[in-house]
Amino acid sequence: MSKKVMIVYASMTGNTQEIADILGEELEKYEIEVEIEECISVEPEELLDYDGALIGGYTYDDGQLPDEFVDFYEDMADVDFTGKVCASFGSGDTFYDEFCLTVDLIEQRLKEKGATVPVAGLKVDLDPDEDDVVRAEAYAKTFVEALNA
């Protein structure tokens, strides 16, 4: 039976959505069943119906969570992710001091709530380039190995 993974993201310019799509395609290469949803259409508890989850968001301005992501992030505090393999990803702009802080905040929250986080958050400067795709492939491979362990 194949594993199921939910990818949840917040994206304003499309960069984080593009990363979500790249990760989804990579997971499907490992015969993982993938569902991709925007954070505004999903509740964190729904992630418990999956074997694992990838949660992504962009970092707005100088280190702020995206407005549309705040509720999802805060509601994550009420969910016990013990036994779930999860990881974070997102886009940011190296122009700002707090590059991809949202990725770190998601990862920290997942760990606080008991998730197994097998790979450090994937951080992309603006839109993903070829090097980012290579990093996403390695990230997905490590995630799948933990999912199948």
What confidence tens digit (pLDDT) does each residue in 48-74 have?
999 999 999 999 888 889 999 999 999
- Does the pLDDT of residue 23 top 90, yes or no? yes
- Does the pLDDT of residue 141 top 90, yes or no? yes
Please report, for the chain, the start and end positions of each structural domain, with discontinuous segments joined by +: 4-148
What confidence tens digit (pLDDT) does each residue in 70-116 have?
999 999 999 999 999 999 999 999 998 899 999 999 999 999 999 99
Confidence band of 1 (pLDDT split at 50, 70, 90)? confident
> Helix, strand, or coil here: 60?
strand
Q: Look up residue 115 and give its two tokens.
A: 């998730």
pTM of the full structure: 0.96
Give the sheet arrangement for strand 33-38, strand by strand.
Answer: 33-38, 4-10, 52-57, 85-92, 122-125
Instruction: Please state, as a whole number, how many other Cβ atoms lie within 10 Å of the Cβ of residue 16.
Output: 28
Q: What angle do CA 102, 108, 111 make, to 5 degrees?
A: 140
Q: Look up residue 57 and give its two tokens.
A: 């968001």
- What is the pLDDT, as a whole number, of residue 63? 86
Alpha-helix runs per DSSP H in the chain: 15-29, 67-76, 101-112, 130-148
Distance CA 57, CA 8 (A): 8
- What is the pLDDT, as a whole number, of residue 135? 98
Residue 92 makes CB contacts below 8 A (sequence gap 6+) with 58, 59, 98, 99, 100, 101, 102, 103, 123, 124, 125, 126
- What is the pLDDT, as a whole number, of residue 61? 85
Q: Does CATH number 3.40.50.360 belong to domain 4-148?
A: yes
